[in-house]
Amino acid sequence: MLRQLVLTTNDAKVSITHEGREISVHRGRILVHVRPPEPYVLAWHGEREVRLPSGALTFAPVHGAGLCADKLKQAPVSLRTRTGGERIQLATNRPHHAVKKLLQQAGLPRWERDALPLVWCGDELAAIPGIGVAVAFQAAHDRAGWTLEWRPNAVAGAPV
């Protein structure tokens, strides 16, 4: 098992399940972590905290920042796992970016990317906790908003 982990390349998706945990390699380090959750979609109805399979997502009211509260009233809001191919525009002077690429640039290992909930309003990706809010859903300086905080259930990965 150790040989398989040590001899892996940086871009390989080596993951070994052992005693309910996974052992994986991320950026040259062997880490033990919990398995990512099965895909889910959960409706959000304005709760301050939502317990999800892999952690808790908190919504804190704020003025002039975060997710625009008025925009979230225009369509059903849901919390979902990534399915692949999602894109988001975080600033008007920036192009749309692949969510996977943004999460990789943030240094999140694959299993954390798979566990992170995305906030959707109708069919539009509104926010990625810890990364940013889509331009179309950003609260103006004079508007009520919500800030997001993602708290995973357990430490993401422990070195072996």
Is pLDDT of 126 > 70? yes
Between 9 and 100, the higher pLDDT residue: 100
Distance between CA atoms of 110 and 94, rounded to whole angstroms? 25
- pLDDT of 153 reads 81
Tell me the domain boundaries of the chain.
Answer: 37-153
CA angle 17–55–46, rounded 5-degree value: 150
pTM of the model: 0.80
Distances (CA, A) of 59 to 92, 148, 158: 24, 5, 28
Kindly state the average pLDDT of the residues 121-131: 97
For residue range 85-100, list pLDDT tens digits in order.
999 999 999 999 999 9
* Burial (CB count <10 Å: 0-12, 13-18, 19+), residue 90: middle
Q: HSE-up of 120 (CA within 13 Å, CB side)? A: 19
Span 47-54, average pLDDT: 94
